[in-house]
């Protein structure tokens, strides 16, 4: 056990990054804004691993988050002065390289900083042996125990590669409290705290459905988890920062990018259906009651491949005969192409209105996307033909921009390997390497049976209104799948929602999901249902199958759809 906080029963863990590109000043804001014991940063999304993979192709010494380097150059002295440990996955594909870079920064600044790193997640060299194909990147999701070893060895900064997003919170909590590997309830509670704060300001009002209720959302503060010895936590933020921490802002992040009621990780499977939320005070939300189970025997692996090359063209169609104009442009472009790409798709966005008062409101957008393994088939041969249509097609022909030469795109797929095949290791500040054993107690992942539903709400009448009048939602991506978490605030609203918003109703409200497999998971403690929509995002975010490739707006589209709502539930 390593005491990382003055309070033996609470450790105060803040977050300063939710993605590679988050607010650069956040590390300093968090260190200067109030008391912290540990500061974490999450820099790795599925798309980020592809970006770092391409960096590494150009320069093998790269592959880590360069913005984190700039933050440490600015803030290392402040962190050491305030005795705040930093734990981050900014190492990406090259945690050892980042650790060495940080040692040089510390030396240049004349600071004595103990740097450690965690490695073993990179399986690229063994991809074929492990039946993972021939990817550009192949990284297993490691857990928290390598981080624990580094902190127990006195590290001021712990750099990891691909660990689960919550592991950067679980590791410091486990080190501080001396948790064992089978303290599943405590570990699960820390996983939930980590999941809430890992996406930075999404827990303090960012991307929040009822944003108009919040006060100062101009510059939301970053979140803090006060993790307790039993695994419970209070989510909060520094005093005087923007945004808000409410039961609903916390639940919004809880519903983000989840699957079923079991939230699996390499150290523990947390039961989302056991979570209890309570508003303790302004900007203080208690998370309690989380139970945990043994982790599954296999680790998830993030696989990115270069899928080929893509290009696109967007035509502006104005005024009358929109569909006929679209048909002409499509027929001309396809017949003029010297060679047809492997994939060629069209989307017509009818943003136009009749008798519009502005030209923009009278216009629709026709988008053509092409993909092919051969860059020549989507490069100038496509771009030149698209431009040649300018004076030879529909009346008023114009484009939002001219197409370029095409660019490579990536494809994300998840893989799975036995945890015993992954060489998880902690490299301590002194350079000593400590191997981290895989979990010896495991449990195959299985769906939780749907709980008994409450009786439908009796009603004297309904009124047609947007679903979002009373319903909150948050959506996101997991590879090619999308999730929409939907919840309400009162028991009566819950009785109506859970008996109304079925899979069939979702397919009615969101017709694009009708041909796809949609699964519903019910979470009564949170008055929430979560929908998984398989294949909506094609082959993942880098594939850009939709104009909203990460499904960020999917929940807001659902909330905007009109439905018959009991009159007594409406304002």
The CATH class, in words, for 309-405 is alpha beta
Q: Tell me the pLDDT band of 73, cut-offs 50, 70 and 90.
A: very high
- Asked if 364 contacts 350 with a C-beta cutoff of 8 angstroms, the reply is yes
What pTM, to 2 d.p., does this model score? 0.94
Would you say residue 515 has pLDDT above 90?
Answer: yes
Which of 81, 88, 103 lies closest to 429 in space, CA to CA?
Answer: 103
Burial group, residue 288, by CB count within 10 angstroms (0-12, 13-18, 19+): middle
Would you say residue 28 has pLDDT above 90?
Answer: yes
HEC-encoded secondary structure of 232-286: CEEEEECCCCECCCCHHHHHHHHCCCCCCCEEECCCCEEEHHHCEEEEEECCEEE
> Higher-confidence residue: 396 or 54?
396
Q: Mean of the per-residue pLDDT values for the chain? A: 95
- pLDDT value, residue 472: 98
- pLDDT value, residue 501: 98
Out of 17-26, 76-85, 379-388, pick the least confident.
379-388
**Strand residue runs (E) in 48-91:** 85-88
Mean pLDDT within 554-558: 97
Q: Tell me the pLDDT band of 50, cut-offs 50, 70 and 90.
A: confident
- pLDDT value, residue 350: 96
**Strand residue runs (E) in 392-460:** 398-399, 407-418, 425-427, 433-435
Would you say residue 393 has pLDDT above 90?
Answer: yes
End-to-end CA distance of the chain: 52
For 108-119, the pLDDT digits (tens) are 999 999 999 999
> Higher-confidence residue: 1 or 361?
361
Helix (H, G, I), strand (E, B) or coil at 484: strand
**Distance of alpha carbon 70 from alpha carbon 74, whole angstroms:** 6
For 411-430, the pLDDT digits (tens) are 999 999 999 999 999 999 99
DSSP secondary structure string for all residues of 386-404: HHHGGGTSSTT-EESS---
- pLDDT value, residue 360: 96
- Asked if 46 contacts 230 with a C-beta cutoff of 8 angstroms, the reply is no
Kindly report the number of other CB atoms within 10 A of residue 32's CB atom.
Answer: 12
Would you say residue 466 has pLDDT above 80?
Answer: yes
- pLDDT value, residue 49: 87
Which of 421, 192, 440 lies closest to 295 in space, CA to CA?
Answer: 440
For 165-185, the pLDDT digits (tens) are 999 999 999 999 999 999 999
Listed by start position, the domains of the chain span 10-296+414-435, 309-405, 462-569
Q: Tell me the pLDDT band of 25, cut-offs 50, 70 and 90.
A: very high
Give whole-number Cα distances, 468 to 299, 370, 372, 425, 487, in Å: 37, 35, 40, 47, 10
Kindly report the number of other CB atoms within 10 A of residue 23's CB atom.
Answer: 16
Would you say residue 78 has pLDDT above 80?
Answer: yes
**Distance of alpha carbon 478 from alpha carbon 42, whole angstroms:** 17
Would you say residue 1 has pLDDT above 80?
Answer: no
Mean pLDDT within 254-266: 95
Would you say residue 319 has pLDDT above 80?
Answer: yes
Would you say residue 401 has pLDDT above 90?
Answer: no
């Amino acid at each position: 056990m390593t005491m990382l906080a003055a309070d033996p029963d609470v450790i105060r863990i803040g977050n300063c990054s939710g993605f590679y590109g988050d607010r650069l000043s956040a590390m300093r804001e968090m260190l200067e804004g109030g008391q912290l014991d540990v500061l974490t940063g999450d820099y790795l999304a599925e798309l980020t691993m592809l970006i770092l993979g391409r960096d590494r192709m150009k320069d093998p010494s790269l592959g880590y988050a360069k913005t984190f380097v700039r933050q440490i150059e600015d803030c290392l002295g402040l962190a050491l002065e305030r005795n705040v440990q930093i734990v981050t996955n900014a190492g990406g594909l090259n945690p050892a390289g980042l650790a060495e870079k940080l040692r040089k920064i510390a030396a240049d600044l004349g600071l004595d900083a103990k740097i450690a790193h965690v490695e073993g997640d990179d399986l690229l060299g063994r991809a074929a042996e492990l039946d993972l194909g021939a990817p550009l990147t192949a990284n297993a999701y490691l857990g928290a125990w390598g981080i624990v070893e580094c902190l127990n060895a006195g590290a001021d900064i712990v750099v990891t590669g691909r660990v689960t997003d919550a592991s950067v919170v679980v590791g410091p909590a486990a080190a501080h409290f001396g948790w064992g590997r089978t303290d599943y309830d405590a570990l699960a509670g820390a996983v939930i705290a980590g999941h809430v704060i890992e996406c930075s300001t999404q827990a303090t009002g960012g991307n929040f459905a009822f944003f108009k209720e919040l006060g100062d959302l101009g510059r939301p503060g970053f979140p803090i988890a006060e993790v307790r010895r039993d695994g419970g936590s209070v989510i909060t933020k520094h005093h005087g920062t923007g945004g808000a921490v409410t039961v609903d802002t916390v639940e919004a992040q809880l519903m983000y990018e989840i699957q079923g009621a079991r939230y699996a990780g390499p150290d523990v499977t947390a039961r989302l259906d056991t979570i209890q939320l309570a508003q303790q005070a302004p900007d203080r939300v208690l998370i309690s009651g989380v139970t945990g189970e043994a982790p599954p025997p296999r680790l998830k692996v993030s696989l990115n491949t270069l899928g080929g090359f893509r290009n696109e063209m967007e035509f502006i169609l104005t005024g009358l005969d929109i569909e006929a104009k679209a048909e002409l442009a499509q027929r001309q472009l396809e017949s003029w192409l010297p060679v047809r790409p492997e994939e060629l798709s069209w989307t017509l966005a009818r943003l136009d209105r009749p008798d519009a008062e502005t030209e923009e409101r009278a216009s629709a957008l026709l988008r053509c996307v092409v993909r092919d393994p051969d860059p020549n088939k989507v490069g100038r041969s496509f771009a030149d033909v698209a431009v040649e249509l300018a004076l030879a097609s529909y009346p008023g022909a114009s484009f939002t921009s001219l197409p370029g030469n095409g660019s490579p795109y990536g494809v994300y797929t998840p893989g799975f390997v036995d945890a015993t095949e992954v060489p998880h290791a902690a490299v301590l500040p002194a350079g000593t390497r400590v191997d981290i054993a895989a979990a010896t107690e495991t449990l195959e992942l299985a769906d939780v049976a749907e709980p008994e539903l409450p009786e439908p709400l009796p009603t004297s009448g309904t009124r047609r209104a947007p679903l979002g009048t009373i319903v909150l939602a948050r959506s996101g991506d997991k590879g090619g799948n999308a999730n929409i978490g939907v919840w309400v605030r009162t028991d009566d609203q819950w009785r109506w929602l859970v008996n109304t918003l079925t899979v069939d109703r979702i397919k009615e409200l969101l017709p694009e999901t009708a041909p796809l497999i949609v699964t519903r998971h019910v979470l009564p403690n949170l008055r929430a249902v979560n929908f998984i929509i398989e294949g909506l995002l094609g082959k993942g975010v880098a594939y850009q199958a939709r104009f909203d490739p990460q499904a960020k707006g999917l929940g807001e589209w659902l909330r905007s759809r009109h439905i018959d709502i009991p009159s007594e539930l409406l304002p």
